[in-house]
Amino acid sequence: MELLTTNNVWMMICTALVFFMHLGFAFLEIGLTRQKNTINILFKNIFIITVGLLLYCLVGFNLMYPGFAEGSSGIFGFAGFGLSSPLTAEGALDLTYNEGYTYWTDFLFQGMFAATAATIVSGAVAERMKIGPFMIFTLIYVGLVYPIAGSWKWGGGFLDQLETPFYDFAGSTLVHSVGGWAALVAVCLLGSRIGKFKNGKIQAIPGHNIPLATAGVLILWLGWFGFNGGSVLSADPTLTSLTLVTTCLAAAAGGVIAFMVSTIMFKNLDLTMFLNGILGGLVGITAGADQMSPTDAIIIGAVAGAIIVFAVSLIDKLKLDDPVGAIAVHLVCGIWGTLAVGLFGNLAGLDQFISQLIGVGSYALFCLTTSFIIIYTLKKTIGIRVTEREELEGLDTHEHGMDAYPDFRLNEN
C-alpha cells in the first residue's frame, strides 16, 4: 500500500506537469504569431483541453485501452462508453488495478496526453483557419483518431505484438507525430497566410511577443518532466532519474546545436531557432528517454537541433506556412526520435530499427488518411479558411468580438 501511494502521488504530480504544458503551448503559439489573433489562439487551446478531457472520458480511454482479446488483429477495440469504477467484491475502490497507480490516475494522466495532438495542429494553422471547422476537427481527431492510434502500441495492439515490439516510451510518434501528420495535411489544404510568400520570396511575419514565446518553451521543458518522467509509470528512483537526465540533456543539446547551425546558415543569432531546437530535442528523446545513456541523449538532441533548422528551411521552400514550426518540431523530430530507438541505447539493433520503421509508416498512413478525409470534407462543405478581410483585420475582432490587449483610457468626463 505504501509503495502504491508513493507511485500514485508521483503520477499525479506528473499529471499536473503535463496539464501545465498546455499553458506553455498557448504562450508559445501566441508569442510567435501576431497580436490581432491572440484571443483566437487562446480560445482554441482552452477548447482543446476542456473538450479533449470530456471526449477521453466518454470514448477515448476505452478506445485506447480496449483490452484486445487474444488472437485479435489489434487494430480496433472498444471497452464501452464512460469510465467504470474498479471495485472489489465488497464494493470498495480496487487499489490493485495497477502496482504503480490507481485507475483514476491512469485515466487523468493519459487524458492530458490526448489533447496535445490537436494543440500541435492549432499552432500550424494559426491566423487563417476558421474556428468552427477547427473545433469539429478537434472533436473527431482527439475523440477517435488519437485513441485508436494509441491503442496500437500503448493499448497492446498490433505494433506491440510484433516479434520485436515497436517502442515509443512517451510519444515521439504516438503523440507528436500523430499531431504532426495532421498539421502537415492542414497546412497543405489551408494555404499560406497573406503576405508570407511574395513574388516567390519568403517574407518573415514576426511574432508579436517573443518573451512570451520564450516563457512558453521554458514551461514546456518543465512540463516534459511529467511527460517523460510520468511515462515510467511509477516512482522508481533509478529509472525516473535517468529519464529526467536524458530528457534535459537532449533539450539542451537541441537548443545549442539549433542556434549554432542557424547562425552559420543565416548569419544571425535567431532566438526562435534556439527555442524550437530545445523543443526538437525534447520531442526527439521522448521515444526512448528511458533507454538512453546521457551521451546517447546528447547525440539524439543534437541531431534533432540540426534537423529543426533544415526542416524549417525546407518547409518554407515548399511554400508551406507553419507559423510556429510545429511540423518541423513535432513531426520531423518525432520521426527522428522514434527511429533513434533502433540506433542508440539498450534496444539498438536492426530488428528494432525495422519495427520502428513499421510503426512510423503505420502512423503516417493512418494519420495522413484520416486527417485528409476530415479536413478536406470540411473544406468542401463549410470551408476552412477565413475571408481575406477577416485575416487582414484579425480573427480576434471578427470571430470573438474582443481584443487581447485593449487600449484602456481614463474617462476625462
Residue type at 286? T
The CA dihedral of 351, 357, 361, 362, to the nearest 10 degrees, is 40
Whole-number pLDDT of residue 98: 67
Percentage of the residues of the chain whose pLDDT score is greater than 70? 94
Q: What is the mean pLDDT of residues 18-47?
A: 96
User: Is a pLDDT exceeding 50 seen at residue 413?
Assistant: no
User: Is a pLDDT exceeding 80 seen at residue 25?
Assistant: yes
Helices (H) and strands (E) in the chain, counts: 17, 2
Query: Model confidence at 319, in pLDDT bands (50, 70, 90)?
Result: very high
User: Is a pLDDT exceeding 60 seen at residue 89?
Assistant: no
160-192: pLDDT as tens digits: 999 999 999 999 999 999 999 999 999 999 999
Q: Which residue has the higher pLDDT, 9 or 87?
A: 9
335-350: pLDDT as tens digits: 999 999 999 999 999 9
- Distances, alpha carbon 110 to alpha carbons 79, 80, 99, 105, 227, in Å: 16, 17, 17, 8, 10
**Cell 520570396 found at:** 201
Separation of alpha carbons 170 and 369, rounded Å: 24
Whole-number pLDDT of residue 115: 83
User: Is a pLDDT exceeding 70 seen at residue 139?
Assistant: yes
User: Is a pLDDT exceeding 50 seen at residue 410?
Assistant: no
Q: What is the mean pLDDT of the chain?
A: 93
Alpha-helical regions (H) of 199-236: 210-229
Helix (H/G/I), strand (E/B), else coil: 177: helix
| All domains in the chain, ordered by first residue | 2-67+78-400 (1.10.3430.10)
Helix (H) or strand (E) holding 202: strand 201-202
Q: Is the pTM of this model over 0.85?
A: yes
- Closest by CA to 271, choosing from 180, 209, 221, 333, is 209
- Closest by CA to 44, choosing from 113, 112, 132, is 132
Q: Which residue has the higher pLDDT, 93 or 72?
A: 72
The one-character DSSP state at 192 is P
Residues counted in the chain: 413
Query: Model confidence at 3, in pLDDT bands (50, 70, 90)?
Result: low
Q: What is the mean pLDDT of residues 389-407?
A: 92
User: Is a pLDDT exceeding 50 seen at residue 411?
Assistant: no
Query: Model confidence at 93, in pLDDT bands (50, 70, 90)?
Result: low
Q: What is the mean pLDDT of residues 71-79?
A: 90
Residue 197, beta-bridge partner list: 202
Helix (H/G/I), strand (E/B), else coil: 166: coil
User: Is a pLDDT exceeding 50 seen at residue 334?
Assistant: yes
Separation of alpha carbons 341 and 139, rounded Å: 32
> What are the cell numbers at 175?
503523440
